Amino acid sequence: MENSKSEAKSMKVTIYDIAKKAGVSIATVSKVINNTGSMRESTRQRVLEIMQQLNYQPSVMASALMGKKTETIGLLVPDISNPLFSEMARTIEDRAHDQGMSVIMCSTDDNPEKEKKYVELLQRKQVDGFIVGASFHDKSLLQELIDNNIPLVMLTQDEPSLDVSKVTVDDFKGGYEATSHLLFNGHQNIAIIAEYAYSSNLRINGYRAAHEVYGAVSKEEYIYRTTASILNGKKYFDKLFSRQDVELPTAIFACNDQLAIGAIQAAKEKGLQIPNDVSIVGFDDTILATTTVPGLTTIAQPIKTMGEKIVDVLIKEIKAGKSLKERFLYNPELIVRGTTNVFNEGTVDKQ
Amino acid sequence: MENSKSEAKSMKVTIYDIAKKAGVSIATVSKVINNTGSMRESTRQRVLEIMQQLNYQPSVMASALMGKKTETIGLLVPDISNPLFSEMARTIEDRAHDQGMSVIMCSTDDNPEKEKKYVELLQRKQVDGFIVGASFHDKSLLQELIDNNIPLVMLTQDEPSLDVSKVTVDDFKGGYEATSHLLFNGHQNIAIIAEYAYSSNLRINGYRAAHEVYGAVSKEEYIYRTTASILNGKKYFDKLFSRQDVELPTAIFACNDQLAIGAIQAAKEKGLQIPNDVSIVGFDDTILATTTVPGLTTIAQPIKTMGEKIVDVLIKEIKAGKSLKERFLYNPELIVRGTTNVFNEGTVDKQ
DNA sequence: TTGAAAGCGCTAACAG
DNA sequence: CTGTTAGCGCTTTCAA
C-alpha cells in the first residue's frame, strides 16, 4: 500500500521526499536546487534525477520565508483594460517571464484608496518590486516604499518629486511634434484635450513651444483637461465646439488615443468631415489608432521597448538591492494616418 | 538607540514584535489576526491598536506555508493585450480584489510550451486556483490539475473533455443570431470567418441552423478558420473575395471583433461600401466595436457579468475544496450598429 | 563532500 | 482566556 513508485501520490512532494529517496540530507538537496556549495558530481546527478522523477517543484513560499525572492513583481496602472496599459502589460509580462518572474496586476482607477490597498496587498505578498505606470496620486505611499528600500520604478510618468528610475517617452517632444504637424499643415486654431497627469503638462509645454516656433499664438481657451476615455473625448469636443467666445478650432490634439477617438465620433455626429473640417491627432498609437476610419494620426510611444526596459531596470535594481535612479527617455514618433491632411513630411502609413 | 517609539525601523515588523509590545504571546496575536478563538475584548483591542501603530502586515508567505491560502489566483488567457481579455481581466481583477485576492496573469499565446511553463510556475507559487480563458491546448495539463484537486474553472470555453465548472456565452445562439440578422435582412450569401476554438464550432453550428430555419443553404465554401487578429480578418476577406468558384458573399460573420475589423478594412481598401456592398457582423462587443466608423454590428458577450461570475465560482470552489462542476451559460445579445443595414428588429445603438 | 541544526513568520493543537 | 510548543518547506552556517 505504499507509494514506493515514482507515481507521487497527491501530497505535495517536498525537499524531504527528495532527500530520503536520494539517500542524502535536505541540505544537499537544497544545494543542488540553488546550485550552491560543491559536491560530488554523481550526487548532484542522482538528486537531479529524483527531482525529475518525482516532479518536484520547490515551494516559493518556503524559500521566500527564508529571505529569498518571491519572483513576483507588482504592476500598478490606472486601468488594465485601457489598450495602452494592456499592451504595456503584455510586454512586461513577457519580459518578466523570460527572467522567471511573474506579475500581479492592479488597476488603481486613479483612486488613492485603491492605491493604498494595492500597495499594502502587494507588500504582504512580498513582491520583489513595483512598476508604477502612468499616474499615481498618493505620492507619500510610494515615498514610503522608497524609504524602505523596496525596488520601485516608474513607467510613463516623470513625476519629479519621486527620485527613482523612470522610463518615459519624451512628452514635451511628443506634444511639440503633434502640434508642429498641425501648424505646418496650415492650422492656426489648435485645441488640446489633455489629462490630469504630469505627462500632459509636458505635452502642453510642447504644444506651446511649437506655437512659438511657428509664430502662432496658443490660446489658453483652447486647453482642456480631463481623464482618459472615449466619452470624455466626445464631451470635450462638444464643449469646444459650442463656445462662442473663441474661434472654432480647426484641429484637435488629444493627449491619448481614447480622447482622440471620442473627438472623432463627436465630429462625425456634428457632420464635420475629417480631416477637412477638423483634423485630429492622438497620442500613444494603440490598437485603437488603427481601427478607426480614417486611421488616427497619432504620436507613437515605443510601447514594446519601454515595457521591456522597465522590467530590465527593475530586475537590475532588485538584484542590486538599491535604486539606481536611472532615467530612460524615448523618442515619440509621429504616425500620420487619415485624420490629418498632409501636404508633406512625417512617417506616412495611411490606411 | 532603541526604536522604542512607534516609528518602526526598516526591519519588517513581525508577529513577535506585536506580541512583545502588547505583552501577550504570539498565539494571542495570531488569534486576533485570524479572528479565531476567544479572548478578553480589551486584549483584542490592545493588540489591534499596536498592530495599527506598528503598521503590521502579516506575511502571506508564512501563513501560506502553514497550509493557509495564498489569496492569489492565476489567470491564463491567450493574450492579455486582446481587448476581450483585457476587459475580462479588468473585471476579474476587481471582483477578486473585492474578496481579498489578487491575480497573476499569464498570456499563453496558444502555445503549449508556455501553457506548461505557466501552469508549473503558478503551482510553485501555490496559487489557490486557476481561471483558464478562451483556449488551452494541452488538455492533459489541466486534467492533471483537476486530478490533484486544484481548483480550476474555465471561462469562455466549453471544452467538453474537461469536467469542471464553466462560464460561457451561448455560442450556438450567438452564431444563430448573427446569421439570422443577416438572413432576415435579405442576405443569401453569408461567409463566416471563425477561429480554431471550440466556441467557433458552436457558432458555426448556429450559423448553419439559422440557414436551415430561413430555408437558405449554407455553403461549406464560405466557412473559413483562422486565429484572431485584424490582419487575419483582412487576409481572409481578401481570400473570400478573390475566389472564382463561388458567388461573392454579400455579408460576413466574423467570430470576433478583431477579425471583423480586419474585414472592414479590407472592404474599404477594395472600395466596397459598408453596409451596402457588404455587411459585417462581429462577436464580443469589445471597445473595438465602438471605435470603427460605421460602428460594428456585433454579438455582445456579457463580459462584466461573466468575469464576475467566474471569480465567484472559483472562490466558492476554493472554499469548498472541491470542484462543483457548475455550468453557467449566458445569453449573447445582438448589438446593431452601422455595419449591417437594418430593415427591422434588434437593439439599435447606431453610431 | 556532506549533514545537523537553527531558524524565517505564522498557525494550531493542547495545556494551564 | 492565554501561553507553550511543534511544525510548514526551505536556506544556511558550522562541524564532521
In this structure, the strands spanning A333-336 and A297-300 are antiparallel
**Crossing angle of helices B26-34 and B15-22, rounded to 10°:** 110
The pLDDT of residue B295 is 87
pLDDT score of B10: 53
CA of A123 to C1' of C6 (A): 27
Which residues are CB-contacts of A41 (< 8 A; sequence separation ≥ 6)?
A: none
Please, which pLDDT band fits residue A8 given cuts at 50, 70 and 90? very low
Q: E-assigned strands of chain B?
A: 72-77, 102-107, 129-133, 152-155, 165-169, 190-195, 223-226, 251-254, 279-284, 297-300, 327-330, 333-336, 347-348
Q: Do A103 and B104 touch (CB under 8 A)?
A: yes
Nearest to B261 among A62, A264, A291 (CB): A291
Hey, is the C-beta of B322 within 8 angstroms of any chain A C-beta? no
Nucleic strand D contacts from chain A, 68-97, CB < 7 Å: 68
The CA-atom distances, in angstroms, between A61 and each of A126, A301, B116, B144, B151 are 10, 38, 20, 22, 19
Selected residue of B57, B285, B291 to mutate for chain A interface (largest A Cβ count, 10 A): B291
Residue range A330-336: mean pLDDT, rounded: 96
Non-local (6+) Cβ contacts of A50 within 8 A are A18, A21, A22, A56
Q: What kind of fold does domain B171-301 have according to CATH?
A: Rossmann fold (3.40.50)
**pLDDT at site B343:** 63
Measure CB to CB from residue A123 to each of B57, B117, B125 and give the nearest one: B57
Residue A22 has pLDDT above 50, yes or no: yes
**In which band, very low, low, confident or very high, does the pLDDT at A158 lie, cut at 50, 70 and 90?**
confident
- For chain A, percent of residues with pLDDT exceeding 70: 94
A18/B205 Cα distance (integer angstroms): 51
Domain residue limits, chain A: 2-66, 72-168+303-330, 171-301
Distance A41 CA to C9 C1' (A): 35
- How near does any CA of chain A get to the CA of B333, in Å? 21
pLDDT at A2 (0 to 100)? 35
Contact assignment for A97 to B117 by CB distance below 8 Å: yes
Distance in Å from D12's C1' to A326's CA comes to 34
Residue A350 pLDDT greater than 70, yes or no: no
| Residues on chain A touching B57 (C-beta within 8 angstroms) | 120, 123-124
**Residue showing cell 503549449:** B112
Predicted pLDDT at B172: 96
Question: Would the pLDDT of A328 be above 70?
Answer: yes
Q: How far is the CA of A25 from the C1' of D16 (A)?
A: 14
With a cut of 70, say whether residue A314 has pLDDT above it: yes
| Chain A, chain B: beta-carbon pairs less than 8 Å apart | 143
Contacts of A61 in chain B (CB under 8 A): 61, 64-65, 70, 125-126
- A57-81 pLDDT, tens per residue? 899 999 998 888 999 999 999 999 9
- Which residue, counting CA atoms, is nearest to the C1' of nucleotide C1? A39
Give the one of B121, B290, B293 whose C-beta lies nearest to A293's C-beta: B293
pLDDT tier for residue A3 given thresholds of 50, 70 and 90: very low
Q: Which residues of B touch A228 (CB under 8 A)?
A: none
Chain A CB within 8 Å of residue B350 CB? no
Partners of A233 on chain B (C-beta within 8 Å) are: none
Q: Is A83 on the interface with B (CB under 8 A)?
A: yes
pLDDT of residue A159: 83
Cβ-based contacts of B62 with chain A (< 8 Å): 65
Contact list, B145 vs chain A (CB under 8 Å): none
Half-sphere exposure (Cβ direction) of A222: Cα atoms closer than 13 Å = 22
CB contact under 8 A, A10 and B148: yes
Tell me whether the omega of the peptide bond preceding residue B275 falls within 30 degrees of 0, making it cis: yes
- Total-model pTM: 0.88
The answer to whether the CB atoms of B102 and A97 lie below 8 A apart is no
- What whole-number distance in Å separates Cα of residue A133 and Cα of residue A314? 13
Q: What is the pLDDT of residues A262-298, one digit of tens each?
A: 999 999 889 898 888 999 999 999 999 988 878 899 9
Residues sharing a CB contact under 8 Å with residue A106, sequence separation 6 or more, in sequence order: A74, A75, A76, A77, A114, A118, A121, A122, B93, B97, B102
pLDDT at B41: 87
What number of residues does chain A have? 351
A335 has a pLDDT exceeding 70: yes
Do A2-66 and A171-301 agree at the fold level? no
pLDDT of residue A343: 63
- A149 closest CB neighbour out of B10, B126, B293: B10
Average confidence (pLDDT) over A152-171 = 93
The count of other CB atoms within 10 Å of the CB of residue B244 is: 5
CA separation for the pair A257, A86 (Å, rounded): 14
- How far is B225 from A46, CA to CA, in rounded Å? 48
Instruction: Tell which strand D nucleotides have any atom below 7 Å from a protein Cβ.
Output: 1-5, 7-13
Measured to protein CB atoms, the chain C nucleotides within 7 Å are: 1-5, 7-13
Q: Are A70 and A60 in contact (CB under 8 A)?
A: yes
- Report whether pLDDT(A192) > 70: yes
**Mean model confidence pLDDT for chain A:** 89
What is the CATH number assigned to the segment(s) B72-168+303-330?
3.40.50.2300
Q: pLDDT digits over A225-258, tens only?
A: 998 889 999 999 999 988 888 788 999 999 999 9
CB atoms B61 and A83 under 8 Å: no
Distance CA A71, CA A331 (A): 31
Asked if the C-beta of B149 comes within 8 angstroms of chain A's C-beta atoms, the answer is: yes
User: How large is the angle between the packed helices A83-98 and A257-269, nearest 10 degrees?
Assistant: 150
Does the C-beta of B37 come within 7 A of strand D?
yes
A188 to chain B, minimum CA–CA distance in Å?
28
The third-level CATH classification (topology) of the domain covering A2-66 is: 434 Repressor (Amino-terminal Domain) (1.10.260)
Strand C contact set, beta carbon < 7 A: A 23-28, 31, 37-40, 43-44, 62, 65-67; B 12, 14-16, 26-27, 30, 33-34, 36, 58-59, 62-63, 65-68
CA distance A265 to chain B (A): 8
Contact A51/B at CB under 8 A: no
What's the CA gap between B351 and B349, in Å, rounded? 6
Q: Which three cell numbers stand for residue B126?
A: 501555490
Mean pLDDT by 10 residues, chain B (351 residues): 37 88 90 87 89 90 90 94 94 94 93 93 92 91 90 92 94 96 92 92 95 90 91 93 85 95 91 90 94 89 96 94 92 94 51 38
